[in-house]
């Protein structure tokens, strides 16, 4: 029994969150932060496959999440809710809870195809060149979506599909899908989907990187020439890693869009990509457990700085250390967070765990859980 | 038909001709050596044969098959393995993983199998693990299975690299300066090891080596290149007394 302890603790924690949400024991804000945590875990661990395990430098991860968010949102709105494009929902809204995972997978698939499109021209390049390509891809995806309305209106007319996704005004209506799920059974669906999504993502990544197939990715990272000579199909390996990474990012996008019920391309800009980078480098490149911890820590930190800065502001005013006219605003969060990254690179450039897993640092931990 | 045949291969890099009209044939179960001064184009020949460069002119065939269209990993899968002059192991993973990954061409499963742990995945991983353990056992490396190569002494790293090449189950083994950086005791051990591998695995070996002792003891046949041209070939005895070879090594007027 001992070796299932942590597994049971984890299941109980998840069940606790779901139950707390069901019986309104937890504040809505705290629940949102918890769900963001799950989304960030998906977002960061998926990038870790490329930036950590493969040691490439992809900087446009949010672009793929954006693709996933839009594909998932459009599908869910078209299929399960009354909308201005098809009028009536295409499928019975009562199917929503059943088909939501299918939507997530479909979005992941489309994101993976986008990942493939970015990975193909990047074969000849590595390092900084790939970074530039991925930043460019991120910008292209955002600009296309933001301008889709105008483009579609001019080419296909005002009632076309392109105008339906609303361009820069953002796309909404996913709350109605969530409501449709609630009509079937009144349980906290989004909390459940986020937990399942994060578990799915970590499960996929764990199994991939521990298989001999997936270790080819590490081989490519450590010595690409040796990998190619020792029978690893390096091109294919890179493609697969890129596709899995962008596909999982797509899932994080779908969940993000459905939590808020609203999605806007501008929230998947370069800043969001940078957040993924921060989490990966904070946790340690190539360390799945480090990345999960970093995602949790990062989410908590970003939220804790809101009251933290307020507290600082009030007290410094009280002590007379700040001039009366000046308030420390929340914008300072984006000074403090990059500063943490700055200090990290100075004093612990390999991240919290380096490329080791938590079980390498605490070998006894292995006795307390089972992963297969 | 020879196992490996290189015919009229010329390799140019821009204006530089690294290899000119290179010909060789390697029979089954034969050890041959390729020697020559630094920069003579020996490693370029290996890079051509293992598929890293595509020859500007000429053809390379392995078991009667034209090798030019194949990428390096496919050539390895067909039965040609090599080691590197400067050891290129994956330093941040265990010796066992090094040996496991180099069997990538025999995996026979894809991403989905890896994620779902299908029967195909389990069988394949088991067989790869078994092969890896066997290779480590015969190469007397079992004690270091969990070590990272970077923590091993140089001589052992050479041995791990040989084990890694052997784990691809090659028919031809290309050794690029296997004795580089070894002391005289280690060189003695290496000679015995290569001889043993040659007898045990019944493979063909083609090696580049600077240390005359190694090639003279091991090789049945030697080829000498200088400035990309083959200047002599024959048995070690013939080569030793060839005035052109002596000139290439010791300089003009030495004879």
Nearest CA to B111 out of A65, A207, A372, A238 is that of A207
What does the pLDDT read at residue B118?
Answer: 94
Distance CA A230, CA B77 (A): 8
Size of interface A-B (CB pairs under 8 A): 95
Nearest CA to A198 out of A4, A45, A359 is that of A45
Non-local CB neighbours of B113 within 8 Å, separated by 6+ positions: B120, B121
What does the pLDDT read at residue B228?
Answer: 86
Average pLDDT, chain B: 91
Q: What is the pLDDT of residues B95-115, one digit of tens each?
A: 999 999 999 999 999 999 999
Query: Scanning every residue of chain A, which has its alpha carbon at the shortest distance from the alpha carbon of B72?
Result: A229
Of A231, A233, A372, the CB nearest to B168: A231
Say how many C-beta atoms besides its own lie within 10 A of residue A317's C-beta: 15
Residue B61 has phi, psi (to 5 degrees) of -125, 145
What number is the average pLDDT over the span B3-23?
A: 92
Distance CA A38, CA A259 (A): 11
**Nearest-neighbour CA in chain B from A86: distance (Å):** 35
Is A372 in the B-facing interface, judged by CB distances under 8 Å? yes
* Yes or no, beta carbons of B81 and A212 under 8 Å apart: no
Distance CA A110, CA A118 (A): 13
Please tell me the pTM assigned to this model. Answer: 0.91
What number is the average pLDDT over the span B54-69?
A: 93
Q: Which of residues 104-143 of A touch B (CB under 8 A)?
A: none
Residues on chain B touching A204 (C-beta within 8 angstroms): 115
Q: What is the pLDDT of residues A207-264, one digit of tens each?
A: 999 999 999 999 999 999 999 999 999 999 999 999 999 999 999 999 999 999 999 9
Of B77, B82, B101, the CB nearest to A212: B101
pLDDT tens over chain A, length 372 residues: 778 888 889 999 999 999 998 898 888 899 999 999 999 999 999 999 999 999 888 999 999 999 999 999 999 999 988 887 777 888 888 888 889 999 999 999 999 999 999 888 776 766 678 888 899 999 999 999 998 888 888 888 777 777 788 888 889 889 999 999 998 988 999 999 999 999 999 999 999 999 999 999 999 999 999 999 999 999 999 999 999 999 999 999 999 999 999 999 999 999 899 999 999 998 888 899 999 999 999 999 999 988 888 888 888 888 888 887 788 887 888 888 888 888 888 888 888 887 788 888 888 888 888 776
* Yes or no, beta carbons of B109 and A240 under 8 Å apart: no
Looking at CATH, the fold of the domain delimited by A23-286 is given as ABC transporter involved in vitamin B12 uptake, BtuC (1.10.3470)
User: Domains (ranges, CATH) in chain B?
Assistant: 4-91+154-250 (3.40.50.300)
Q: Is the pLDDT of residue B187 over 80?
A: yes
Is B110 in the A-facing interface, judged by CB distances under 8 Å? yes
Task: Write down the domain spans for chain A.
Answer: 23-286
Least confident of A304-313, B61-70, B82-91: A304-313
In terms of phi and psi (left: phi > 0; alpha: psi -120 to 50; beta: otherwise), the region of B198 is: alpha
């Amino acid at each position: 029994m001992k070796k299932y302890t942590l597994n049971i603790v984890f299941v109980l924690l998840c069940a606790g969150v779901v139950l707390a949400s069901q019986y309104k024991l937890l504040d809505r804000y705290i629940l949102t932060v918890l769900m963001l945590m799950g989304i960030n875990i998906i977002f960061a661990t998926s990038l870790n496959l490329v930036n950590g395990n493969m040691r490439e430098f992809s900087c446009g991860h949010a672009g793929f999440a954006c693709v996933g968010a839009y594909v998932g949102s459009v599908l869910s709105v078209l299929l399960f809710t009354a909308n201005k494009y098809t009028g009536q929902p295409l499928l019975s809204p009562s199917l929503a809870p059943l088909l939501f995972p299918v939507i997530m997978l479909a979005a992941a698939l489309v994101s993976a195809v986008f990942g493939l499109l970015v990975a193909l021209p990047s074969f000849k390049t590595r390092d900084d060149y790939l970074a530039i390509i991925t930043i460019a891809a991120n910008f292209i995806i955002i600009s296309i979506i933001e301008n889709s309305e105008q483009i579609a209106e001019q080419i296909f007319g005002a009632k076309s599909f392109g105008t339906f996704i609303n361009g820069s005004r953002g796309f909404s209506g996913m709350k109605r899908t969530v409501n449709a799920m609630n009509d079937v059974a009144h349980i906290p669906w989004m909390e459940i989907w986020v937990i399942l999504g994060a578990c799915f993502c970590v499960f996929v990544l764990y199994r991939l990187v521990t298989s001999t197939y997936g270790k080819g990715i590490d081989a490519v990272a450590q010595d690409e020439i040796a990998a190619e000579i020792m029978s690893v199909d390096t091109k294919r390996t890179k493609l697969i890693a890129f596709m899995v990474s962008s596909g999982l990012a797509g899932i994080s996008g779908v969940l993000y869009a459905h939590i808020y019920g609203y999605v806007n391309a501008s929230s998947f800009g370069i800043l969001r990509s940078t957040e993924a980078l921060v989490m990966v480098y904070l946790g340690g490149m190539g360390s799945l457990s480090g990345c999960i911890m970093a995602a949790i820590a990062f989410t908590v930190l970003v939220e804790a700085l809101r009251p933290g800065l307020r507290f600082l502001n009030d007290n410094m005013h009280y002590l007379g250390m700040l001039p009366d006219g000046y308030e420390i605003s929340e914008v300072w969060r984006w000074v403090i967070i990059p500063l943490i990254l700055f200090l990290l690179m100075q004093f612990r450039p390999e991240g919290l765990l380096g490329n080791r897993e938590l079980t390498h640092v605490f070998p006894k931990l292995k006795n307390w859980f089972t992963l297969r | 038909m020879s196992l490996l045949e290189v015919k009229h291969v010329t390799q140019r890099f821009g204006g530089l001709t690294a290899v000119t009209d290179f010909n060789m044939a390697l029979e089954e179960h034969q050890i041959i050596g390729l020697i020559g001064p630094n920069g003579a184009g020996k490693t370029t020949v290996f890079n051509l044969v293992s598929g890293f460069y595509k020859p500007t002119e000429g053809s390379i065939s392995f078991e009667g098959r034209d090798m030019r269209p194949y990428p390096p990993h496919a050539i390895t899968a067909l039965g040609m393995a090599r080691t590197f002059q400067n050891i290129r192991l994956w330093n941040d993973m265990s010796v066992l993983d090094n040996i496991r990954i180099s069997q990538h061409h025999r995996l026979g499963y894809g991403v989905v199998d890896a994620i779902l742990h299908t029967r195909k995945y389990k069988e394949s991983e088991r067989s790869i693990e078994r092969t890896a353990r066997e290779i480590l056992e015969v190469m007397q490396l079992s004690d270091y299975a969990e070590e990272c190569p970077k923590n091993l002494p140089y001589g052992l790293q050479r041995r791990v690299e040989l084990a890694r090449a052997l784990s691809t189950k090659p028919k031809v083994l290309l050794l690029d300066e296997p004795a580089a950086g070894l002391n005289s005791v280690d060189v003695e051990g290496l000679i015995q090891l290569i001889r043993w591998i040659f007898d045990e695995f019944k493979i063909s070996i083609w090696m580049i080596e600077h240390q005359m002792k190694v090639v003279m003891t091991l090789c049945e046949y030697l080829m000498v290149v200088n400035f990309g041209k083959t200047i002599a070939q024959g048995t070690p005895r013939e080569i030793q007394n060839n005035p052109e070879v002596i000139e290439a090594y010791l300089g003009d007027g030495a004879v």
